[in-house]
Structure formats: C-alpha cells, structure tokens
Structure 1
Amino acid sequence: MDFARNVLDTPVPRVYSWNSQAKSHPVGAEFIIMDKVEGVPLSQIWGTMKLPQKLQVLLALTRLQKQWLSVSFSHYGSLYYTGDMPPPSGNYYVKDGKTVRDSEFAIGPATGRDWVDAARSVLDVEKGPWTSLTQYLQAVGTREMEAIQSLKPPKQTALFCGPKLYRPDTEKKITALAWYRQVVDALIPKDAAITNPCLWHNDLHDDNVFVDPHNPEKITGIIDWQSCHISPLFNQNPDPAFLDWNFLEPETLDLAPRPKLSGLSPEERSAAVHEYTIQNVFIGWRKLMLAKNPDLYRVVEFRKTAAYGLIFLAQRMFEYGEAHFQSLLVDLKDTWADLPAVSNDMPFPFDFSEEDIERIKLDSDGAVAGTELVAEVKERLGDLWPDKGFIEHERYDDCKSALHAVKGQILEQLTETDEEKAEYERYWPFE
C-alpha cells in the first residue's frame, strides 16, 4: 500500500501502524490501523450513474493503470520492506525508464492468492523471488504437483462433477503437469512488455473502488491490496470486475447495435437495455485501453491464445483444469509451429493415439458440461449465488434454501441410481 501510494501514485489509505505477529505483541492479535477512505464504494452509485459519468470513471482507472504500467521489477514475487526481508541480489525497480536500486522495498517470496489458497500456504516449496520467467512458471508446476500429492483436494465451484459429467482425477492432474513442464518454455510470449514483472490490483470490484459521491467520476481510494503481488503482466487482470462482464470475449471493438424493443414486455425491455449497456460500457473500456495503454491491450490479445490458456490452467491444476488442459494440449499440435518460441526444427513433443484423443475429448466434454451447469445454476440463483462460497448473513437462509432446491433438480436430472446420487452428494460443494 505504501508503494502503491508513493510510487504508483494511487489513492490508497495511509497505514499508521500494523502487527503481523500476534504472540509477540502486547495487543495479542494481528492488526492494521489505517486511514478511512474518503467517498463511497462504487457499488452504491454505479447502477444510477449516467453513461458519460461511467466513462469518466473508466478513464480515471485507465490513468491509474498507466501509472502501474510505468513500474517494473527485477524479480517475480511479492513486495516487502528491506527491514523485514533482506533484498535478493540485484533487487531494484524501474519507473519511467529510471532504475531505483537502494529503496526501502525488497522483492521476496510470493504471497499471491494462488500460493496460499486451498491450504497451499503450508507447502514446503520454492516461493521465489525469481529473476527468470521460466523459473517462475516451472515453480508453479512444482507447487501444484506438491499440492496434488500432499493436500486434501478442495471442493470447488468452477464446475459440477460426477457421473455423466467429469470426475477430478489425480493421475490425470499429474500427467497434465508433466506435460506442462515439457512445453512451458514454448508457451512464453516473446513480447517483453507483457512478460515484465508488474505490481497490480487484480480485484477491482465495486466495493474496492471508492468515488466522490458529489463528483462520482473522481476515484478517491482503492482498497483490498493484501494479495497483490509481482507477476508477469499477462498474469494480471486487465479488466475491472465491476464491469460485470459475463459474456464471451468480444471478437471486435465494434459497439453492440441498439436492441429492438418493440413487442417486448417491460421486463424483457429492461433486460435487453441492461445487457446492451453492459456490452457497450465494456467495449468502451477496451477502446480506452487500446488507445491509452496498448501494452495492457496486448495482454488481452495474448489471453485469447491456447498458450495462455495452458499457463492459466496449470496454475490451478490442484483444484481443477486437467480435462481442459489436456484437450487444449491436443489441439496445440495444429498451431505448435506458430508459437514464437518454437524453432523450425522443434517437433511437437507428444504423440497422442486415437484412443488418447477420444478419451481426452470425452473428459473435456464432461468438464464443459459441468461448467455450463454451474453457469446455469448461477444465472438461476442471481444475487443468491454464493460467490467464492460466501453469502451475506442476511441472505444466508434464502441462499441455502435455493441451493437445496437446485441440488434436488440436478440429482433428479442426472442420476439414475443410488450410487450416482451418492457420488453427486460427495462432490456437491455447498455444504
């Protein structure tokens, strides 16, 4: 937060005191004392803002991201004070082309969410810092392999699992990671602008962004920095979550046409206008990004590739992803020679049999069906969907009741025997 406020010129609360060691402090607890952010959460007024005001908020955020892009680091990892973490050899950051070597900040072991979620924090694995992107990505594979082999697999909400869908498989996860290690060097893009180590805020939802209620175009503060880390730019989220984009990646930056409202009911009109607004605000955001922060837009382009898909899935292999990963890798054979890091004489390193391909396709189809079922349930529950497994206290009973009803419908739709029903019960994540 100190670095974000004073180096990245970002409105962040000033921290006055903190303690991370409960046992060694008279208070007997961890704590942090900081300024209260001025303004109100964007969630309170985004829905009532006019389109020009929304575009001004996006323009202000574009300026902030430009400041984040102006700084890169010597290592991948997380940020510390030098008094708490001796800096590694060659520790520095670069701002606007100028190298800063003897600062109060040091780059140390990674503390990003993917290094601590689902009990990963207890793993005895290398956590950096790393000067090489290859070392960093290989360490991710090692971390996921260790998690798969030593931790209890978590229930997750990315896809529903069971008979007629996909069942998580430890051996397939291990195989996928072994394949990942063989191809990871070929997946790394050559564009240094999107591989540079950058510090970023990846969770810009509408309760983390504060604005001036009398001048809502002005961002007064950004909170929730605890999991921010120094990662290759292509691993950072280019889009703010408050845009509520749940559609496919747009193929062009053309604005969506006005919806035809004649013959629609009032509810259907409202839904059509709402969807039209969300689509064009998002396209407007991407147009601003392309114009103001083209390096960040190149991240958007890279994220459309199979190479990024494989890197992304490998980072969460412990929880999910092996079916999609293996399917993507089979398809990669057709575009292998087009990867920037692949030389003309470098053959595709795998020889899949027809039987392998058929099995991988069936697994992928089952996983896709599981994710589509989650999307269907999420849409049906609306605001009652427990994002990340959490729901507000006052809506807990309604959420629990809605999930119970949906679960009954899924079991009736997909199960034929008591054994199948028991298996779906075992995989059901909301208990």
Structure 2
Amino acid sequence: MANRVPSLIAPHRCSYNERLRLLERRRYFNIHELCQVVARSVGHSSDEITSFTKVAEGGSYRVFEATFQDGLKVMVRLPYPSTLPHKYGIASEVATMEFLRLHGVPIPRVFSWDSSTSNQVGSEYIIMEKVPGVELEDTWYSMTLRERMDVVEKIVDIEKILFAIRFPASGSLYYKDSLDSNITTANMSPDISQKGTDKFCIGPSSELLWWYQMRDELDINRGPWKHSEDLLKAVGQRELTWLRKFGERRFPREPLYREFYDRQKVDPQVQIGSLLDYLKVAPHIVPDREELNQPTIRHPDLSPSNIFVNRSGEITGVIDWQRSAILPIFLQAKIPKHFQNYGDDDSENFRPPTLPDNFDSLTENEKEMEAELYRRRQLHYFYLGFTNRNNKPHFHAMGTYDLIVRNRLYDTASRPWEGDNTSLKAELVHASAYWSDIANSATKGAGFPAKYSEAEATDCLDIDTKQKNADAQMQKLRDFIGVNIDGWVPNESYNEAKEKEQYIKHEMLDAAETDDERRELDEHWPFQDHEELD
C-alpha cells in the first residue's frame, strides 16, 4: 500500500462541471500514518488492521472503515479540501458529539481527532466507533405502521433532550482548549457544567454561510451572541460587508431568473439597499416572550440516512453533526426537511394519513405514487403528533404563526447574494404587511421602518412569484433527471440521467418559438459545463 494516495470520489458522478467537483474533493494523505493514528486511538497496532476500505462519500466527508484482527471496526472521516469551515468545523463537531453524548443522546464515541492539516497524516480527521445497526433509510419501507410510529417517537424524544438543554448564548460548541485565546467565547451555565461539561464553551458559529465564498476573510461578528437581536443584526451585517468588499455587477446564478432582469447584469447596490432595510427591521422582530429566545441546539440534517436503528427498532446512533448551531428557538422551530410534507392539504391540516379507498384497483404505478404520498403524510403526522405530546417547547414555538414570517426574513437575509435582487426585498414587503403581528411590543404601534411605494412593492412581489415558479420548474427538472441541486447523481444512474437530460433539452428546444430563444436555451442550459461565478 502506497504511503501517499489520492482519494477520489467514486460512488457519485456530477452531471456538469465534474472536473471542478473532483478537484474540490481530491485529498492527498499519508495512509500509513493514518493507519498508525487509527490503531493507537483504540490501543491496537497498525499491523492488526486487516482491511482499510472507503465506505461512503458524503457531502462533507470521505468515510473509511478500518477492521482489526479481533473484529473491531472503526470509522475514519476525512473532510474534503473544500469542506468549510477549516479548523473550526471539526473542532466544533467533535465537541458537539461529546457534549450531547454526556446528555444521553446516542452518538458514536470519538477516539481521536485533529482539526489541522499540519500533521503526519496530512489531513484533518475524525476517528470514531462504528454505530451498530442500519440506516433508518434502509429499513423504513419494510417497517410496519407500529414500528414507524415507534421510531418517529424515539426521534422526537432525542430532540426533547436537545430542547431541554439551557445554553447561555447562540453560536457553536467547542472544547475550551481548542480555541485560540483571542477568540470570544461564552462559558456554560452552572446547571450545565454540573453534568461534567465544564470543559466546553460556546464560540463562533460553524455554520457554512459564515465562512462561504471568502466570508472567512471578513472582520465580522461570528458569535457567540447572548441576545437574539445581536444575531439577527450580525447576519445582515455579514452579507452587507461581503457585498461592499466583493460584490460586482453580474448575471443571476439561476439562468431562468435572467429574463426577470431584462437579461442585464444585476447591480449589487440594490441588494445592499435591501440589507440596510433589513438591519432597520431586525431589532424590532425579536419575540417578546423569553422562552422563544432560548438558545437551542438541533441536528443540522436530521435525515433517515443519519439515523441508525437495530432490529428491535431502537435508535443506536445519530451521526453527521458537522456545522451544528445553537440558535434562538424561534429560528430553530420547524419540522425537519426529511419529515415534513408541506404543500399537502392533509398534512397541513393534521389529518390522519390513509390510503385511498380504491387503492387495490389502481395500477402498479399509481399504487407506488399513492404509497409514497402515504409514507410522507405518515412522517409529517407522526412527527408533529409526538412533538405535541413529548416536546411541548418545540410544538408551541412551531404553532406561533408570526414566527414563520420572522424565520423567512432571517433565512433570506442570510443567503449569499448570487444576482437575486428580489427575494430579500419581497420578504421585507411581506413583513411590512404583517408588521402589527411580528413587531415586538415596544414598536408595535410604530410604522414599518422601511418604505416602499405600492407600485414598487407590487413589481417586487411579481418578480418574486416568477422566481419561485422558476425554482419549482428547476426542481421538477432535477427530480425527473435524478440529480440534486449541485448536479450529483449516483454512479449507477449517471448514463440514464444524461439521457433524460438530453431528452428534456431537445424537447424544450423543439418547443422554443424563435431562433433567439433556442440559442439562449442552448447557451444557458443549466445541466452542462459552464463558468462558475460563485
């Protein structure tokens, strides 16, 4: 086995700009030294390793499994060079895992870690125990209704543990000795440190958007934040600072948006104006109720592929805690993406899910579609029902309607600017319409801090609707082709995805009414190699 080997992506292909994606993930490391570190971390010799195999390519990590002569299996995770934030990412993830383990959350134990590339391995790494059981994603379809209910309740019970922890500030978790002395931190409250967690602190947020696209170069407030208002303002100030330093006229990243801006380059000064308006509004949308401002931690991607269960249906481990953030509960309260079924009338009105009466007479294809809808409704219904019963703080926060408007405003203000001058302004216009509901008591009687004429607001909302429709069209295309938003597709589905993509392109070219439309569609087709502005 060579000492230094390149580790490349294998189980997935990218439908466009694949060369760039592979370069971002190419990692050279010293596999001999890594095996030495792995063995030492569990009190073994590297000579006892019988196999060292790559088992997964995640969104942020390449995952290996080391097997020893005595049958012990150890997981090794190496981040890609493109995985952000450097240093803070791993330091925060391992601290989060250990802190939550101490509170009873089923998380694999970390044996060793290093958040620097200046080591003998030549890479950051995390070495941890292998979680027994299988991914929930692999067993969900074979479960009975009762088994599905039980596992969703167990997931909610894990979240109940998270929501019960009282943090003194928002930010991300770290070991105290992992941060430089000049980094601002917040110490744990006494009631937390009594649980043996006084070696932890809250430091800068490890969420991606605080470090993305040269934001790591900015002199900004990345936390911790003791007050919700400070966090809301910091997000807007971050994007404002980035635009003033790096913002240039550009075309929107989403090709379908271009017609909404007369196919002209977009001026960042418009977005700067919207961010200044957001900063006027932000201090006034902090909820009055103290419990809605309680800093709370959640799993950043609670998907079935990150939850392991055994044959008895017990949850044996929850993995992938990278970029976990502590945020005020009013920003955290929502059904996880993989458990929600918004847009469906039955789910949104909390109706018990049922299969249609004529299910047995449907075609196989229709049965498959109805069964999938039934599954999504079950997840939504069970999650909401058990949260209502077992995790009241989360349920009550989700049921506060005005938080939805505040949440959308915060989320939109925090998005990197990619030539979209409409979305943030549209959320501000929406907020102005609900001002009496979302403004805190001190400013409820005052007018909305930003002013928009009726014509300006109408034009903005019209473009926003068109952009949302364009987003929906693009998602339908991705779903049909079988690629995610970044263009990744499973290796075994690559050829089929390319055939579908070419079929759709030819259909759209045939449907175009003019040569100019065909030329523009061909030039800006989103599923082909193209220059990346971001």
TM-score range, shorter chain: 0.7 to 0.9
- Does the aligned pair in 2 maintain the 1:119–1:151 contact within 8 Å? no
Deviations 1:66-91 (A, max 9, x none): 11011121121111111122585752
Counterpart of 1:221?
Answer: 317
Counterpart of 1:266?
Answer: 364
1:55 to 142, 149, 160: 149
SS at match of 2:434: helix
SS at match of 2:452: coil
The one-letter code of the counterpart of 2:474 is V
- Does the aligned pair in 1 maintain the 2:185–2:201 contact within 8 Å? no
Q: What is the CA distance between 1:61 and its match in structure 2? A: 0.8
Q: What is the CA distance between 1:409 and its match in structure 2? A: 4.0
Q: CA distance change for structure 1 residues 275 and 290 in 2, over 3 Å: closer, same or farther?
A: same
Alignment of 1:110-149 (within 5 A): 110-149=205-244
Counterpart of 2:489?
Answer: 391
Counterpart of 1:174?
Answer: 272
1:29 to 96, 110, 123: 123
CA distance in 2, matches of 1:67, 1:370: 40
**Do structure 1's residue 310 and structure 2's residue 401 form an aligned pair?**
no
Q: CA distance change for structure 1 residues 191 and 392 in 2, over 3 Å: closer, same or farther?
A: farther
Q: CA distance change for structure 1 residues 191 and 405 in 2, over 3 Å: closer, same or farther?
A: farther
CA distance in 1, matches of 2:511, 2:242: 34
- Does the aligned pair in 2 maintain the 1:92–1:100 contact within 8 Å? no
Q: CA distance change for structure 1 residues 405 and 64 in 2, over 3 Å: closer, same or farther?
A: same
TM-score (norm: length of structure 1): 0.86
Taking only the aligned residue pairs, the percentage that are identical comes to 24
**Stretch moving more, 48-57 or 344-353:** 344-353
Q: What is the CA distance between 1:349 and its match in structure 2? A: 2.4
CA distance in 1, matches of 2:238, 2:505: 33
Q: What is the CA distance between 1:407 and its match in structure 2? A: 4.0
1:188 to 267, 281, 286: 286
CA distance in 2, matches of 1:301, 1:415: 48
Q: CA distance change for structure 1 residues 229 and 430 in 2, over 3 Å: closer, same or farther?
A: farther
Determine which structure has greater relative contact order: mean sequence separation of CA pairs < 8 Å that are 6+ residues apart, divided by chain length: 1
Q: CA distance change for structure 1 residues 362 and 49 in 2, over 3 Å: closer, same or farther?
A: same
The one-letter code of the counterpart of 2:405 is A
Counterpart of 1:327?
Answer: 426
CA distance in 2, matches of 1:424, 1:195: 49
- Does the aligned pair in 2 maintain the 1:70–1:95 contact within 8 Å? no
CA distance in 2, matches of 1:91, 1:237: 24
CA distance in 2, matches of 1:264, 1:102: 56
**Stretch moving more, 263-272 or 38-47:** 263-272
The one-letter code of the counterpart of 1:278 is R
SS at match of 2:304: coil
The one-letter code of the counterpart of 1:52 is R
Alignment of 1:307-386 (within 5 A): 307-319=406-418, 322-342=421-441, 343-381=443-481, 384-386=482-484
SS at match of 2:147: helix
**Count of aligned pairs:** 423
The one-letter code of the counterpart of 1:225 is W
- Does the aligned pair in 2 maintain the 1:80–1:105 contact within 8 Å? yes
Q: What is the CA distance between 1:146 and its match in structure 2? A: 2.9
SS at match of 2:202: strand
Q: What is the CA distance between 1:414 and its match in structure 2? A: 6.2
**Do structure 1's residue 13 and structure 2's residue 108 form an aligned pair?**
yes
Counterpart of 2:6?
Answer: none
The one-letter code of the counterpart of 1:367 is Q
Counterpart of 1:276?
Answer: 374
SS at match of 1:9: coil
Q: What is the CA distance between 1:288 and its match in structure 2? A: 0.8
**Do structure 1's residue 109 and structure 2's residue 208 form an aligned pair?**
no
Unaligned stretches of 5+ residues in structure 2: 1-96, 530-534
- For the pair shown, the structure with the greater C-alpha radius of gyration is 2
1:82 to 167, 176, 192: 176
- Does the aligned pair in 2 maintain the 1:166–1:367 contact within 8 Å? no
SS at match of 1:107: strand
Q: What is the CA distance between 1:302 and its match in structure 2? A: 4.2
RMSD over aligned CA atoms reads 3.2
- Does the aligned pair in 1 maintain the 2:268–2:419 contact within 8 Å? no
Deviations 1:128-170 (A, max 9, x none): 212121111111111122333416889867x942325897653
TM-score (norm: length of structure 2): 0.71
2:166 to 49, 52, 72: 72
Unaligned stretches of 5+ residues in structure 1: none
Q: What is the CA distance between 1:60 and its match in structure 2? A: 0.7
Q: CA distance change for structure 1 residues 211 and 256 in 2, over 3 Å: closer, same or farther?
A: closer
**Do structure 1's residue 45 and structure 2's residue 139 form an aligned pair?**
yes
CA distance in 2, matches of 1:313, 1:33: 36
**Stretch moving more, 77-86 or 397-406:** 397-406
